[in-house]
Amino acid sequence: MGGDAAEGTRLSDPPGGPAARPGLVLVATPIGNLGDLAPRALAALRDADAVLCEDSRVTGGLLARQGVTATMIPLHDHNEAAQAPRLVDRMVAGEHFALVSDAGTPLVSDPGYRLVRAAIDAGVQVSAIPGPNAAVMALSLSGLPPHPFLFLGFLPARAGPRATEVARLRQLERAGLAATVVFYEAPHRLAEALAALAEGLSASRPAAVARELTKRFEEVRRGTLGELAGHYATAEARGEICIVVGPAPIEEAGADELDAALRAAFAAGLSLRDAAASVAEATGLKRRDVYRRALELGEG
Ligand code: SAM
């Protein structure tokens, strides 16, 4: 049961009550629609001794619109390694900080991990106020199986490393990974990213492109990777974008793992029927599919 006013819990109270006020609180902010700033998020920003932010112009604008004045301390990829120990010392000495990124959930393809790690190591209490996240929203709107899912962030910008990364994913799928995969992508690289995914995974794989989530021109386009790559080869993509790719079909996903497990079962002297039953149980694959593959391998 969640805390509420009747139990004497204020909006800004952390789990555990006011006495447990964390040294560091990770605060999610809107990914486009300012109405998505949660009341607890606002209260935490107001209560903090300082707000650690990527870009003080972005966060300053957000705070100003809410009538909040706060001390801001820049924390971004270029200064986080140096800043983290100093900030942790201050939290150990009793200061309370809120961490935000320019948009969405801090740490998710954004700075903050090194600070959180250092704070945990120093025994500082860390909490979070959950809220908007583009990857999870895209996943839930994609129409693709929501779990298991794998978040891979941005693909490499250059074609060579990008193809290598896609090949690595394909290899994982061939070893049994069957997860929906979510990527972030820049609009000017969307077409080439989709083409690389269609080529490296499969043009027939179901996918979705989620654009401008929570904003005026929010759009989710669903289709196969081949169809989406074809569409964006000519249509200009604007705004902020997530790509969601459906899981590899199970027979593809588990091909190598399945064959290895069947061969091991045959080598252990199991009959074809027993090998199929035990491998189906161990892998979670359908017994019928495993039996068919066992027949194809022609052993047992
Ligand atoms: N921390 C953020 C979050 O929780 O979603 C993500 C930060 S990452 C630097 C920014 C990328 O997230 C964008 O390039 C885009 O791929 C994705 N993104 C952010 N806002 C979005 C939106 N409104 N619609 C679709 N994608 C978005």
In order along its 300 residues, the chain shows pLDDT tens digits of 344 444 445 555 666 665 678 999 999 999 999 999 999 999 999 999 999 999 999 999 999 999 999 999 999 999 999 999 999 999 999 999 999 999 999 999 999 999 999 999 999 999 999 999 999 999 999 999 999 999 999 999 999 999 999 999 999 999 889 999 999 999 999 999 999 999 999 999 999 999 999 999 999 999 999 999 999 999 999 999 999 999 999 766 677 778 888 898 898 889 999 988 888 887 777 888 889 888 988 754
Assign domain 24-132 one CATH number from 1.10.357.10, 3.40.50.2300, 3.40.1010.10, 1.10.630.10: 3.40.1010.10
Within its chain, how far is the Cα of 87 from the centroid? 26
Residue whose CB lies within 8 A of the most ligand 1 atoms, among 241, 243, 244, for a mutation test: 241
**Which residue CA neighbors atom 26 of ligand 1 most closely?**
241
Residues whose CB is less than 8 angstroms from the CB of residue 33 and which lie 6 or more positions away in sequence, other chains included: 214, 215
**Which residue CA neighbors atom 13 of ligand 1 most closely?**
240
**Which residue CA neighbors atom 16 of ligand 1 most closely?**
184
User: How far is Cα 209 from Cα 232, in angstroms, rounded to an integer?
Assistant: 10
Domain 135-245: CATH architecture, name and number where available: 2-Layer Sandwich (3.30)
81 alpha carbon – ligand 1 mean position (Å): 23
Q: pTM, whole model, 2 decimals? A: 0.84
Residues having CB within 6 Å of any atom of ligand 1:
31-32, 101, 103-105, 108-110, 133-135, 184-186, 210-215, 240-242
> Of all atoms in ligand 1, which is nearest to the CA of residue 184?
16
Give the bridge partners for 29, in sequence order: 104
Q: What is the pLDDT of residue 252?
A: 67
244 alpha carbon – ligand 1 mean position (Å): 13
User: How far is Cα 211 from Cα 167, in angstroms, rounded to an integer?
Assistant: 25
CA angle 267, 268, 270 (to 5 degrees): 100
Domain extents in the chain? 24-132, 135-245, 255-299
135 alpha carbon – ligand 1 mean position (Å): 7
> Of all atoms in ligand 1, which is nearest to the CA of residue 32?
23
Residue whose CB lies within 8 A of the most ligand 1 atoms, among 36, 184, 209, 215, for a mutation test: 184
